[in-house]
Amino acid sequence: MKIITKVLPLLLPVAFMANVSAQEAPKVAEDKPLKFVAGMGLTFGGEKLSTVSFTDGTSSDIRSGGLVQLVGGVDYRINKQFSVQSSVSYHVDGIGASNGGLTFSRFPIELLGYYHINDQWRVGGGVRYVTNIRMSGSGAAAMPTLSFDNATGGVLEAEYFTSTRLGVKFRLVKEEYKISGTNQKVSGNHGGVFANMYF
């Protein structure tokens, strides 16, 4: 079963909360300046790293820009116009079946700055440092672990706050991964949609 089929049911309640919270009149500027943030997103893009074929004749790709990113960190509102956010994530694309699976995983560390257009919208960007980048397989998809060098990329974002506790992010990331011990590089460029809870 693909990872996305496991994650979508988790995102649906968040989307529902966003719709309900949209009825509120958020006053982000009046809330406490320092918050913890926890979020989840779906990302799309990058290059095809591998294709897994199934016995029913279908196949699925592992991509360097996919697929699920789990986020935890802190967000600090400097003043009415500006804020910063620092986070650590687990970013993974994977395909699993009863007889094995294939996974491409990495751990991004991000530092982002934002300009607040109003109480609902902020835009910004920053730097993303990615560590422990690797692709590995198990069972019928077993393979030697393919490791990549740590990488630095750039992030552009827009975030809409449906309330002081819930933000929906739209992002673009530009980065490149280099296979360890070689000169071969893979584009990790991708876009994504995230739901973040602030508390």
Does residue 102 have a cis bond before it (omega within 30 degrees)? no
Residues in the chain: 199
Residue 88 has pLDDT above 50, yes or no: yes
CB atoms within 10 A of CB 23: 8
pLDDT at 92: 98
Tell which phi-psi region holds residue 46, choosing left (phi > 0), alpha (psi between -120 and 50) or beta. Answer: left
Summarize the confidence of residues 7-31 as an average pLDDT.
Answer: 48
What are the tokens at 57?
């004749």
Residue 182 has pLDDT above 60, yes or no: yes
Summarize the confidence of residues 71-86 as an average pLDDT.
Answer: 98
pLDDT at 62: 95
List the single range of 3-17, 33-47, 86-100, 178-192 with lowest mean pLDDT: 3-17
The Cα 52–Cα 136 span in angstroms is 13
Residue 9 has pLDDT above 70, yes or no: no
Q: End-to-end distance of the chain based on CA atoms, in angstroms?
A: 33
Going by pLDDT thresholds of 50, 70 and 90, the confidence category of residue 17 is: very low
Going by pLDDT thresholds of 50, 70 and 90, the confidence category of residue 14 is: very low
Domains and CATH numbers, the chain: 3-198 (2.40.160.20)
Residue 82 has pLDDT above 90, yes or no: yes
